[in-house]
Amino acid sequence: MVDSRESWNEAQLCEIIAEHRGLEGPLLPILHAVQDAFGYVPQPAVPIIARELNLSRAEVHGVVTFYHDFRDRPAGRHILKICRAESCQAMGCEALVKRAESRLGVECGRTTANDQVTFEAVYCLGLCAMSPSAMIDGEPVARLNASKLDALLSEMGA
């Protein structure tokens, strides 16, 4: 999925800013759009956004780093998020996290060495009556179990 994204360029950033600057409180929508376009929020975007919105760099940096969603580097080709909140805990999500970690060879929160998969925790996908659950490249998966997870990992090329 990253492959289809633009590589960082200032012109596109300026377009994104222009598109959103009329909104009340435009910073989050801009950051989401930037991440949609480039796959992450590139460092050089921060001072430009700050200048255009009349904010300090520190304020924009603060916002980018406060929210779990915003990345400071590109993710892997696929993003696997396993829910680790209580309902999924009650249905054994921790064993699935360990399984994914060992299969991927990285800890939760990291990207595999070949940039194929970024593996992250998420705290609740709202699928709690069908725990454990996960999200793969934005698609929800529920009633997850070891064999389903293995199949998904294989599909992702892990």
Partner 1 sequence: MTIRIFVPRDAAAIAVGANGISRDLYRAAEAAGAEIDIVRNGSRGMLWLEPLVEVEVAGLRYGFGPIEPTDVAGLVSAGLFDPSRVAAISHTKALGPTEKIPYFANQTRLTFARCGKTDPMSFEDYVAHGGYLGLQAAMSMGPAAIVEEVVKSGLRGRGGAGFPTGIKWKTVHATLPQQKYIVCNADEGDSATFADRMIMEGDPFVLIEGMTIAGIAVGATKGYIYCRSEYPHAIAVLNEAIDAARAAGVLGGRVAGSPYAFDLEVRMGAGAYVCGEETALLDSLEGKRGIVRAKPPLPAHKGLFGRPTVINNVLSLAAVPFILAEGAQAYADYGVGRSRGTMPIQLAGNIRHGGLYETAFGLTLGTLVDEIGGGTQSGRPVKAVQVGGPLGAYFPRALFDTPFDYEAFAARDGLIGHAGITVFDDTADMAEQARFAFEFCAIESCGKCTPCRIGSTRGRETIEKIMAGEDVAANMEIVTDLCHTMKLGSLCALGGFTPYPVMSAITHFPDDFVPARPRLAAE
Residues that bind partner 1 (CB under 8 A): 23-29, 31-32, 53, 59, 62-63, 66-70, 83, 85-91, 122-131, 133, 135, 138-143
| 157 secondary structure, DSSP code | T
Could you tell me the smallest distance in angstroms from the CB atom of residue 149 to partner 1?
14
Least Å from the CB of residue 11 to partner 1: 23
Query: Among residues 61 and 77, whose Cβ is nearest to partner 1?
Result: 61
- C-beta of 9 vs 69, nearer to partner 1: 69
Helix then strand then coil, in percent of the chain rounded to 5, is 45, 15, 40
Shortest distance, position 119 Cβ to partner 1, whole Å: 16
Residues near 120 by Cβ (< 8 Å), separated by ≥ 6? 79, 80, 81, 82, 108, 109
| CB of 64 vs partner 1, minimal distance in Å | 9
78 pairs with which residues across the strands? 117
Nearer to partner 1, 33 or 100 (CB): 33
- Which of 11, 129 has the CB closer to partner 1? 129
Residue type, 73: R
Residues 6+ apart with CB under 8 A from 73: 40
How far from the centroid of its chain's Cα atoms is residue 95's Cα? Answer: 22
